[in-house]
Structure 1
């Protein structure tokens, strides 16, 4: 059983936030990493190696069975879904941050560069939602209609106790692999500002401190399945396009074959919204509530609209380079992080420029290469590719990751532990800490950035990539 850290569980009924929020999910990892950085700590205690890492040479059926068993041990049961209290989850998030006043706050969609931006500003990052996984005992990766039926029953139980959230169910074998056949993935998005967030802002924000909303603007075909519940087949993080989840898609056949499914059985439900917000979007009610709170309490609110993850990653990397150079540092050493492999405190401690790839797909790595090709050269480039634990036609190969490292003038390093067994093994978040601890110290850290300066740089460097800062 996953250890519940003392002091991080809120009082009240329902399951503890530590039990509800999916292990390894973006919101969970980013809050933990940001909170540690604001306490002056790294991520050495974060993450557990997945079962795939213990079977690097095992046949695929053995590996899939191990992954499925591990997922079953941590997923919510049907009864536990009814015990979820989204208000308690919000309290669990805010309770992880040091109890002091802050010059601002970032709220919104999960993004590794947003965590780095928060640390540079010296402010917390809070998610606009969270992910859960729940048991699906008779599931199958190639039966999205059955997944929807099972998820609908779970959604009814959860929404009865949490009318303030919207549940987006995601069935994506291309990003979740065999887990898609034994669990359902539910992304809960708050429809209003949680009471714990409002109290946190009231108690911890300095007078006139800005509120920055970071919104993932990606879209995806969606099926609306009733009040508070929607469903999508596939997701942007898969590295594939919506058309690739059509029954006659060659990419889909490859994916299903890799995870033990059969494309002949694939029959996705009818789409009701061809271009709705993807799972990490922000509910309009949440945004309106945040704007209303900011206006009533004298906090300027700015929105950062992110059309694709690379636009914010590039903007924050450029921002860090200027920030470091303004403090008399070189700003010439880059670390390319991926997925859960990040450590904001070690990045600041070593005076590194961080560029975050959402995942190990070719699309993510292509955009990192394009940004590097158009940037002033770095003297060193360290690359931390996160193995996704499965094979997919959308994944970048190790030669492409090596090409990213090759942009370094003097040092070009690809983490061997992450590369060993790539892409079918897994490594914990603390692997990034282990790698970055080997970097030389470059202290003292620069003084925290001001929000006005940061937003100005993001407008300048991110505007041509579609980043919209208002």
Structure 2
């Protein structure tokens, strides 16, 4: 199983497609989405011991290596790319298919019901040199011609050029982020649905309502400065003490960023849902006799607590304790080993202050967990709004028996690159291992969607 080479493997949507597809094949998630990457584990361990001044260039080279040339992007056919995404899943019939926004909790929801998910948004990494992460005005214009050519070739897409010098500083040194959202299903997704969704089956539309200020550079071409993470949109544009401190730490000579003025807002580039797709899905379903159910949620993490509670109740129905919480982090998730360990999954978008606060709120409202295991995505930079290791230790102290870091050293965080290879180790070590259950019935999915609408409405 291989994803199209044009999409970034080091990204939420592609990593989550791999994790779910592998699960549906009865397999665990490989590191960085590829089994061959296991060979790099010793390299990552060695790199984690290097000083930051050496680590950062290495991270930039590795994470930016996926960038495609501008000429490749100009000629790219996204219908062919979407066909490659759909082909990742096993060729069988499903009672339901999820389509829409990305999210780790959504992946665990799909795993519980044994159904695939087709992402609306994909990241196309574009090779970029000579543009400072701290010059958003220059970045906004640098690839405008390439973006226009790409959009002329792909009329069903909206292109969000996302530039986040806070969390993506190291990657932006080597590549630009072109996130593209489908406004129509397109032939590849339509064929997948007609070939693999059972007659009368359910299309569940995952709709994250997160929005962000943008600058409109052209028809279907948006520039988004900043992204979901440790600081809100206004701090990117107006500055703050922690932004100033972050810029001082990297010796930029700046106290704030100077970005193009925002003239509107739009669905957030990575997580937000472009509503035009819903209308196309509804029309397609009417033509083919499928049902459509909507799954709206406000923030990328809004489904994390409901899905955790679904798993906890499911375990107890099976006679399992449901007393072990495993906290995923961004692309570090493995639905196969989560179920084998009998762990309740809670997905956090990033190891940042808002995610920590939301996790505390969940623990405030549920029965205490005996064991809490915590993965931490390491992006290699001391970004503004990042949580400290001590803050995560205090979170782990809420376990009534034991709270532990999973595959990451708190002393090397956020530069412990072993985390990409060892985040499942804590799950593999759990004994006894549980048998893989049969998927929950689609009637339970209807119940979950009904409860979610009641709580969200």
TM-score, with length taken from structure 1: 0.89
Which residue does the alignment assign to 2:234?
243
**Structure 2 Cα separation of the partners of residues 140 and 259 of structure 1:** 12
Q: Does structure 2 conserve the Cα–Cα contact (< 8 Å) formed by 1:320 and 1:354?
A: yes
Could you say if the C-alpha distance between residues 271 and 52 of structure 1 is closer, same or farther in structure 2, counting changes exceeding 3 Å?
farther
Which residue does the alignment assign to 1:435?
426
Q: Does structure 2 conserve the Cα–Cα contact (< 8 Å) formed by 1:43 and 1:429?
A: no
- Between Structure 1 and Structure 2, how many residues are aligned? 450
Q: Does structure 2 conserve the Cα–Cα contact (< 8 Å) formed by 1:323 and 1:446?
A: no
What 5-or-longer segments of structure 1 have no aligned partner? 9-16
Could you say if the C-alpha distance between residues 35 and 429 of structure 1 is closer, same or farther in structure 2, counting changes exceeding 3 Å?
farther
**Structure 2 Cα separation of the partners of residues 463 and 256 of structure 1:** 44
In the TM superposition, 1:158-197 aligns within 5 A as 158-197=150-189
Q: Does structure 2 conserve the Cα–Cα contact (< 8 Å) formed by 1:109 and 1:215?
A: yes
Q: Does structure 2 conserve the Cα–Cα contact (< 8 Å) formed by 1:52 and 1:67?
A: no
Q: Does structure 2 conserve the Cα–Cα contact (< 8 Å) formed by 1:103 and 1:209?
A: yes
Q: Deviations over 1:116-149 (max 9, x none)?
A: 0001011001101200221221200111011011
Q: Does structure 2 conserve the Cα–Cα contact (< 8 Å) formed by 1:166 and 1:190?
A: yes
Could you say if the C-alpha distance between residues 310 and 80 of structure 1 is closer, same or farther in structure 2, counting changes exceeding 3 Å?
same
In the TM superposition, 1:207-286 aligns within 5 A as 207-236=199-228, 238-246=229-237, 248-259=239-250, 261-263=252-254, 266-273=257-264, 275-279=265-269, 280-286=271-277
Which residue does the alignment assign to 2:309?
318
**Structure 2 Cα separation of the partners of residues 454 and 401 of structure 1:** 33
Could you say if the C-alpha distance between residues 129 and 309 of structure 1 is closer, same or farther in structure 2, counting changes exceeding 3 Å?
closer
Please report the RMSD computed on the Cα atoms of aligned residues, expressed in angstroms: 2.3
Which residue does the alignment assign to 1:37?
23
SS in 2 for 1:91: helix
**Structure 1 Cα separation of the partners of residues 134 and 146 of structure 2:** 20
1:292 matched to 2:292: no
- 1:357 deviates by 0.4
What 5-or-longer segments of structure 2 have no aligned partner? none
In the TM superposition, 1:247-396 aligns within 5 A as 248-259=239-250, 261-263=252-254, 266-273=257-264, 275-279=265-269, 280-396=271-387
TM-score, with length taken from structure 2: 0.92
Which residue does the alignment assign to 1:12?
none
Q: Does structure 2 conserve the Cα–Cα contact (< 8 Å) formed by 1:387 and 1:422?
A: yes
- 1:371 deviates by 0.3
**Structure 1 Cα separation of the partners of residues 194 and 244 of structure 2:** 51
Q: Deviations over 1:228-269 (max 9, x none)?
A: 210111112x22111111254323223334455342583210
| Structure 1 range deviating more: 160-169 or 425-434 | 425-434
